[in-house]
Amino acid sequence: PPSVLWFRRDLRLSDHAALLAAAESPRVLALFVLDEALLKPAGEPRRAFLYGCLRELDEAIGGRLLVRHGDPAKVVPEVAAEIGAGSVHVSADTAPYGRARDERVRKALGDIDFVRTGSPYAVTPGRVRKGDGTPYRVFTPFRKAWLEHGWRRPADTGPDTAKWVDPRSLDQVKIPELRVDKDVVAAGERAALDAWRDFLDGPLPDYATDRDRPDRAGTSWMAAYLRWGCVHPRTLLADLAPKRSEGSQVFRSELAWREFYADVLWHRPETARRNYDERFDRMEHDTGKEADRRFADWCAGRTGYPIVDAGMRQLLAEGWMHNRVRMIVASFLVKDLHVPWWLGARHFMRHLVDGDLASNQHNWQWVAGCGTDAAPYFRIFNPVTQGEKFDPDGAYVRRYVPELAGVQGKRAHRPWELPAGPPQGYPAPIVDHAHERQVSLARYSAVKG
């Protein structure tokens, strides 16, 4: 009998282990289910990116992608029954919602096999463990064990790996059209591989230093492609293997962070919402109208701290923010505005095209000091000196904050010190960093206990 290949976070045809497994059947039906539970919390750039990926995937297999709308636990068994499928193949989803959804689908399929092959990670979360079988709680030993564990070579797959079922006689919905007036990365597998080639041929050797510079195009932009599976990390790791530069070592380490956080979330799914370090449940947060107003200023990029505002506006304009700036704005929200990390994390998840529960929630917890090997809480980022250090000429700030476009050089990081005050239309700082830092430290002492 034919099989169904149900695509989710694996929107590609190359290096696709589940495709290889599905292709053991004589014919394969390619399926994607538009699931409101995942679409609803996603902002437009995220959805537009997803639809772009689906469109490309559909074209690559000659218009044979079947798209339906609804609850997968209903849709997947229906489709399988309609074509008389003997099995449904997927790449494993290891995040909390995906795990629960897949259990419901597996049960609803009854006698039809539900086969998980591979995952969005080089090493499937849950596999790398300490000698005594317990999970790692600290990154550096995890990375070492992860490297020692190793991974398979990329799977040799492509559009011709399977004989695709023509779904034209089946009910289906069109891939939604959604044009966003934003500067979002190009969607799809081809764009992913092109961007990766550009990175290998360009910034990689200088990645160790340039990755911290938001004013330079020094990073790979792979996160959204990895999030939606337009490229598999094994493909990237295989391309990096022969390279000896410091840049390639550091890049591999960044991929290890992605794998580490997926592993942490797999073992502790409740940390998507809760503090990994439970002592932080006692942390005092600001609430009320004033706190709400400050949170809204942060979301809109109107805090009066230029590097924070540039980052928040980059997020709104591109569905992406530079990593160094993500750390600065997150620290500012938690430690200068005393707003709980999960509110910032939710805003990020809505707007980031690469928004990924494991990486997002755990990076937020790292910044907030309540996660795995967290940054020491007392290391509170100073938004002004961080800006001056990592955007030394103020170019990044001027690009995203037009009110400051006329302020030359690093003075763009201290507009309140300009002889005539901050330029017209740009706010004065909404809080005093030195004061809020003291407030944070006092509250932290109470938590540490």
Residue numbers of the site for ligand FAD (CB under 6 A)? 211, 219-223, 226-227, 254-255, 257-258, 261, 323, 326-327, 330, 348, 352, 354-356, 359-360, 363-364, 367
Task: Report how far residue 3's alpha carbon sits from residue 396's, in angstroms, rounded to the nearest whole number.
Answer: 50
DSSP 424: T
As measured in angstroms, the least distance from the Cβ of 345 to ligand FAD is 7
Task: Report how far residue 371's alpha carbon sits from residue 331's, in angstroms, rounded to the nearest whole number.
Answer: 13
Nearer to ligand FAD, 115 or 374 (CB): 374
In degrees and rounded to multiples of 5, residue 69 shows phi and psi of -120, 135
As measured in angstroms, the least distance from the Cβ of 148 to ligand FAD is 20
Task: Report how far residue 53's alpha carbon sits from residue 67's, in angstroms, rounded to the nearest whole number.
Answer: 13
Q: Taking the mean position of all CA atoms in its chain, how far away is CA 34?
A: 19
Neighbouring CB atoms inside 10 A of 137's CB total 14
As measured in angstroms, the least distance from the Cβ of 177 to ligand FAD is 26
Nearer to ligand FAD, 172 or 323 (CB): 323
As measured in angstroms, the least distance from the Cβ of 223 to ligand FAD is 3
Largest CA distance in the chain: 77
Tell how strand 28-34 and strand 113-116 pair up: unpaired
Nearer to ligand FAD, 76 or 367 (CB): 367
Residue pair 234/122 in contact (Cβ under 8 Å)? The answer is yes
As measured in angstroms, the least distance from the Cβ of 106 to ligand FAD is 27
Nearer to ligand FAD, 120 or 394 (CB): 120
Those residues with Cβ within 8 angstroms of residue 63's Cβ, 6 or more apart along the chain or in another chain: none
Nearer to ligand FAD, 247 or 306 (CB): 247
Residue pair 167/193 in contact (Cβ under 8 Å)? The answer is no
Nearer to ligand FAD, 245 or 323 (CB): 323
Task: Report how far residue 259's alpha carbon sits from residue 359's, in angstroms, rounded to the nearest whole number.
Answer: 9
Nearer to ligand FAD, 61 or 147 (CB): 147
Q: Taking the mean position of all CA atoms in its chain, how far away is CA 328?
A: 17
As measured in angstroms, the least distance from the Cβ of 367 to ligand FAD is 6
Those residues with Cβ within 8 angstroms of residue 270's Cβ, 6 or more apart along the chain or in another chain: none
Percent helix, strand, coil in the chain, to 5, is 50, 5, 45
As measured in angstroms, the least distance from the Cβ of 366 to ligand FAD is 7
Nearer to ligand FAD, 340 or 422 (CB): 340
* CA-based nearest residue to 367, from 379, 357, 356: 379
Task: Report how far residue 208's alpha carbon sits from residue 212's, in angstroms, rounded to the nearest whole number.
Answer: 8
Nearer to ligand FAD, 219 or 372 (CB): 219
